[in-house]
Amino acid sequence: MKKNLLFLTLIVFLISPISIFSQEEKHWTSDLNIKVGYGNNFGYKTDLNVTGFEYFTPTNGTFRVGLGKDFEFSEKWTLQAALELDWIRSVNEYRAEPSATGFDRTVGVGSQFSSNSDLQYTISLPFNYHLVNKNNSQLGVAFGPELNFNFQKVFEGGGFGLGDSVLRYDEVEFDNTVFRPSALLAVSYKTRFGNLPVRAQAFFSYSLTNQYSGTYQYENVFNGESQRGDFEM
């Protein structure tokens, strides 16, 4: 009888942690989340240095959708892993000051816009630290790495010409960076609307490498200036 009781006690002792774990275990879909976002990308530099001509990208609009999953390590720390698709719309602006570049204002307008779009994939792995963690709301800061993939081959990105191409700017070579690491810093707030959990996040992502690079060529027969160089974005 004692042996049976000891054996039964041993079985209960071994099964108890398993049953407790199984009660706390969540289904793998329970922490999945859908991400929808929008942001602006800034930053363009070139070694172009000619009289009265500018080419710059004031903003790149980025729409982001993704699928993520939260991994809770403790009450304070969560890993918010996500796979995201970014649709980037770039607006480029070319400006030429007629009096400075040497052509007559009647030849053409002194500014021109062009736009294009691009798709890239992003793997985001930020760690979130909960500053406030209540039942229905969480306030935290997130930081961690991102990795951007861009498999589209970008060729000529466009150009700007005035007066039958007597003043012209061309991007003769224009390539994207296929693998681009970034660092993410964010502030996030999580709450509930009824039974629906919602998280709002304001983030800043800094690219460790350039997104695009290429070679440009500038020619102006009005004042005899010409230049060829490299650019990065």
Instruction: Delimit the domains of the chain by residue range.
Output: 28-232
pLDDT tens per residue, range 133-162? 877 788 999 999 999 888 766 655 556 776
Eight-state DSSP code of residue 154:
P
pLDDT at 184 (0 to 100): 92
Question: Does 178 score more than 70 pLDDT?
Answer: yes
> The tokens of 106 are what?
């009647």
Residue 203 buriedness (CB in 10 A; 0-12 / 13-18 / 19+): middle
Average pLDDT in the chain: 77
**Nearest residue to 225 via CA among 112, 81, 39, 100:** 100
Task: Kindly state the percentage of the chain with pLDDT values over 70.
Answer: 75
pLDDT at 21 (0 to 100): 39
Residue 46, C-beta contacts closer than 8 angstroms, at least 6 positions apart: 55, 216, 229, 230, 231, 232
pLDDT at 13 (0 to 100): 36
CATH of domain 28-232: 2.40.160
**Nearest residue to 68 via CA among 160, 197, 207:** 197
